[in-house]
Amino acid sequence: MGKYIALTGAESAAFAMKQINPDVVAAYPITPQTPVAMKFSEYVANGEVNTEYVTVESEHSAMSATVGAAAAGARAMTATASNGLALMWEIVYIASSMRLPILMAVVNRALSGPINIHGDHSDAMGARDSGWIQIFNENNQEVYDSFIMALRIAEHPDVLTPAMVCQDGFITSHSVENVMPLTNEQVQKFIGKKKFKGLITADKPFTMGPLDLQDYYFEHKKQQHEAMKKVFAVVEEVQNEYAKEFGRKYSVIEEYRTEDADTIIMGLNSVMGNVKTVVDSAREKGIKIGAVKPRFFRPFPVDYLRDLLPKFKAVVVLDRSDSFGAMPPLYSETLAALYGIENAPMIKGYIHGLGGRDTNLAMIETVVDNLQKLKDTGEGNLTFEYLGVRE
Amino acid sequence: MTETKKGWKDLPIGGNILEAGNSQHYFTGTWRTYKPITDLDKCINCLQCWMFCPDNSIVIKDGKMDGQDYDHCKGCGVCAAICPVKAIDMIKEEK
Amino acid sequence: MGNVFEITWYGRGGLGAKTGAILLADAAITADKFVQAFPEYGPERMGAPLKVYNRISDVEIRLHTAITHPDFIIVIDPSLLQNIDFNEELKDNGTILINTDNSVEEIRSKIKLGNKNAKVYAIDATGISVKVLGKNIPNIAILGAFSKITGLIELEEVKKHIHEKLMTKYGKDIINKNIEALEAAYKEVEK
């Protein structure tokens, strides 16, 4: 295997993009995604990639240019965060409905307002029904590996659906960590040549993106729905191959010290590193606790959770976003997945870390205490609350 | 238009229409209220009607104007209006 | 968390604390360590106070939280000293490295140390920087002192990474001057 290099999370995404060597990248800088676009444009300027880099005037244009390039058969990518994702909204849906396997680095940041540049998941969670695959990543190594696997998943003929590779703004995007990259040759061999053919040619013209009304639209949505259902089969295949080739094993849902656990904490992205640390110290006190980290939010791993969660007596779900007037997304979808299952665990939700507020170990220790109460007495079952908010 | 439409399993994905130029199969000629009638003796073959027709419905044979394609002509009257020698008359369509 | 070595840098925008922390991480990675270097971002602007963090460990680092009780505190701008409660913040038997032209004894008596058991080191990184570079960018001199005090990073590794990271941006002249500052601080700091 190779050796470790020091990369920020943003640089990890850019480095993976460089090794993939996409045909077209169109991106517009927005904090904290800026270093992704900045680093990648440096690769372009240095001639380290063959990519056509399109400097656009907004995220709406970034996604539009990416869609155009992908429709013409190019491997096309972009990157954004927060309000940038919001500005490309219209075209985000068009990318997925045109079934273009675009990759997008999403550096999760609070969606204004009041204006805030730091990490939470309100941007990606807003886009959860846009028809994109969403992969969440705890650290920089995961960001790197996910990017390379995401390409294979998105371009798979059963899937042909764009994918967002998410990471927490600043917390990982601007944090230098050890990352062990593959060689360019390894990456190129793993991703292979693009099978998604160049589409519009002079001798085989056809129409893309036409008006699609009551007579056909419904069928096209069903196709998107069915493609998403096939994602996990492809993910399993790609993950296994990745593990076999490079020795790094990923799963749709990562389990940490769950073997004999009766309680677990579940959540997305960087906070799960803190959770694992607290799990370790709680274990030393004899608490049978583990951590469960879904790496995918779209498609949502319903079957996996229905298999896994009934093994535990009580579950806490951490959401780094709110759904005002409703239950937060990870919590509510987990609840829905568990509905009607015999031996479903008790469950409680916490909304944490909005606007990049540090979810520190003391806060998670409080969660562990409350989780034990939930297990022993049922206190707090089917409720959710803010974690560490000032009264 | 009585053909059975394909289901989601058989339709091309992404809303793509793989058959180029399929609007030919859709007859818009039934939309007409007025119908263009061309007096080919008066016609000087300037082909302005051909250039201006929004529906590609001016028939050209051997480089010369040869009336309208009534399967697709919607009867808009642009050809009659543009004709410099008044060779095209718009008459009420009889249905 | 036991064997993770944690460092907090106190600086101001423009003094190079972030670059210093990244170079420190780069050098530690070559010594087969696991590292983190991350800033605590507020609104960024030249002169504003900021904190930058490092973690160094023999095993994989999972934590993604701010550092609250570091093993080592670097104060790159002495004007911040009065705002730092070393007694509350520093781990017991921790270390403080201060950019100052005061002696260790003088500076020790001026900071909020309480009865905390701590080693305090002083280095006139600004003096070195102004002398060698002609301006106050003390981060590299700080790294020279840090290297000698802790032995966690090799001077030669730091030099290598200064070359790799900064050459295209600053050119040979500035790089050589920075390396001069690095070596001067290494020599000057009293262990």
Write the pLDDT tens digit of every residue in B37-57.
999 999 999 999 999 999 999
Residue A210 sits at the vertex; the CA angle it makes with A209 and A211, to the nearest 5 degrees, is 125
Look up the ipTM and state it.
0.92
Residue from A207, A214, A225, A228 whose CB has the most chain B CBs within 10 Å, to mutate: A207
For chain B, domains (ranges, CATH) are 33-92 (3.30.70.20)
The CA distances from residue C108 to A166, B51, C78, C100, in Å, are 46, 91, 12, 11
Contact between A294 and A272 under an 8 Å Cβ cutoff? The reply is: no
Higher pLDDT, C167 or A187: A187
Q: Which of A172, A176, A274 sits opposite C37 (nearest CB)?
A: A176
Task: Answer yes or no: do C65 and A360 touch at CB < 8 A.
Answer: yes
Read off the DSSP letter of residue B4: P
DSSP alpha helices (H): ranges in A269-358?
A: 271-284, 302-308, 329-338
- Residues with Cβ within 8 Å of residue C103, at least 6 apart in sequence: C122
Among C173, C112, C121, C169, CA closest to C148? C121
Subunits adjacent to chain B (3 or more Cβ pairs under 8 Å): A
Q: How far is A356 from chain C (nearest CA, A)?
A: 10
Share of chain A above pLDDT 70, in %: 98
Domain ranges of chain C: 5-188
Task: Please tell me the predicted confidence (pLDDT) of residue C174.
Answer: 93
Exposed / middle / buried, residue A221 (Cβ in 10 Å: 0-12, 13-18, 19+) = middle
Task: Please tell me the predicted confidence (pLDDT) of residue A15.
Answer: 98
Residue range A4-21: mean pLDDT, rounded: 98
pLDDT grade for B91, boundaries at 50, 70 and 90: very high
Task: In chain A, list all ranges with CATH 3.40.50.920.
Answer: 253-386
Quote the radius of gyration of chain B (alpha carbons, Å): 17
- Residues with Cβ within 8 Å of residue A199, at least 6 apart in sequence: A71, A72, A73, A206, A208
Task: Please tell me the predicted confidence (pLDDT) of residue A107.
Answer: 98
pLDDT grade for B23, boundaries at 50, 70 and 90: confident
In chain C, residues with a C-beta closer than 8 Å to the C-beta of A115 are: none
Task: Please tell me the predicted confidence (pLDDT) of residue A199.
Answer: 62
Task: Answer yes or no: do B11 and A216 touch at CB < 8 A.
Answer: yes
- Residues with Cβ within 8 Å of residue A378, at least 6 apart in sequence: A346
Write the pLDDT tens digit of every residue in A140-156.
999 999 999 999 999 99
Distance from C-alpha of B71 to C-alpha of B24, rounded to nearest angstrom: 9
Give the count of alpha carbons within 13 A of C106, CB side only. Answer: 9
Would you state the structure tokens that stand for residue A319, as one six-digit string?
């959401």
Whether CATH 3.20.20.70 fits A253-386: no
Task: Answer yes or no: do A160 and B13 touch at CB < 8 A.
Answer: yes
In chain C, residues with a C-beta closer than 8 Å to the C-beta of A283 are: none
Assign a CATH topology to domain A5-244: Rossmann fold (3.40.50)
Quote the radius of gyration of chain A (alpha carbons, Å): 21
Q: How far is B43 from chain A (nearest CA, A)?
A: 36
Angle between helices A271-284 and A361-377 (to 10 degrees): 60
Q: How far is C34 from chain A (nearest CA, A)?
A: 6
Among A371, A146, A370, A381, CA closest to A269? A146
pLDDT grade for B20, boundaries at 50, 70 and 90: confident
Task: Please tell me the predicted confidence (pLDDT) of residue A112.
Answer: 87
Read off the DSSP letter of residue A2: -
Question: The dihedral of CA A31, A36, A39, A43: what is its sign?
Answer: negative
Write the pLDDT tens digit of every residue in A190-217.
999 887 555 677 788 888 999 999 999 9
The CA distances from residue C76 to C88, C122, C166, in Å, are 19, 11, 20
Task: Answer yes or no: do A208 and B5 touch at CB < 8 A.
Answer: no
Beta bridge partners of C118: C94
Task: Please tell me the predicted confidence (pLDDT) of residue C1.
Answer: 41
The CA distances from residue C117 to A2, A184, C87, C89, C102, in Å, are 42, 50, 9, 12, 20
* Cβ of residue A174 closer than 8 Å to a chain C Cβ: yes
Q: Which of A138, A176, A361 sits opposite C38 (nearest CB)?
A: A176
Task: Answer yes or no: do B20 and A207 touch at CB < 8 A.
Answer: yes
Distance from C-alpha of A159 to C-alpha of A136, rounded to nearest angstrom: 19
Quote the radius of gyration of chain C (alpha carbons, Å): 15
The CA distances from residue A26 to A32, A41, B33, B91, C15, in Å, are 17, 10, 49, 55, 34
CATH class of C5-188: alpha beta
Task: Please tell me the predicted confidence (pLDDT) of residue C137.
Answer: 93
Asked whether at least 3 C-beta pairs link C and B within 8 Å, the reply is: no
Q: How far is B25 from chain A (nearest CA, A)?
A: 15
Query: Can you list the positions of beta strands (E) in chain A?
Result: 5-7, 24-27, 52-55, 76-80, 103-108, 133-136, 163-168, 176-179, 253-256, 263-266, 289-294, 296-298, 314-319, 346-351, 383-386
Terminus-to-terminus CA distance in chain C, angstroms?
28
Distance from C-alpha of C86 to C-alpha of C103, rounded to nearest angstrom: 18
Tens of pLDDT along chain C (191 residues) come to 458 999 999 999 888 999 999 999 999 999 999 999 999 876 667 788 899 999 999 999 999 999 999 999 999 999 999 999 999 999 999 999 999 999 999 999 999 999 999 999 999 999 999 999 999 999 999 999 999 999 999 999 999 999 998 888 899 999 999 999 999 999 999 87
Q: How far is B77 from chain A (nearest CA, A)?
A: 27
Task: Please tell me the predicted confidence (pLDDT) of residue A1.
Answer: 58
pLDDT grade for B94, boundaries at 50, 70 and 90: confident
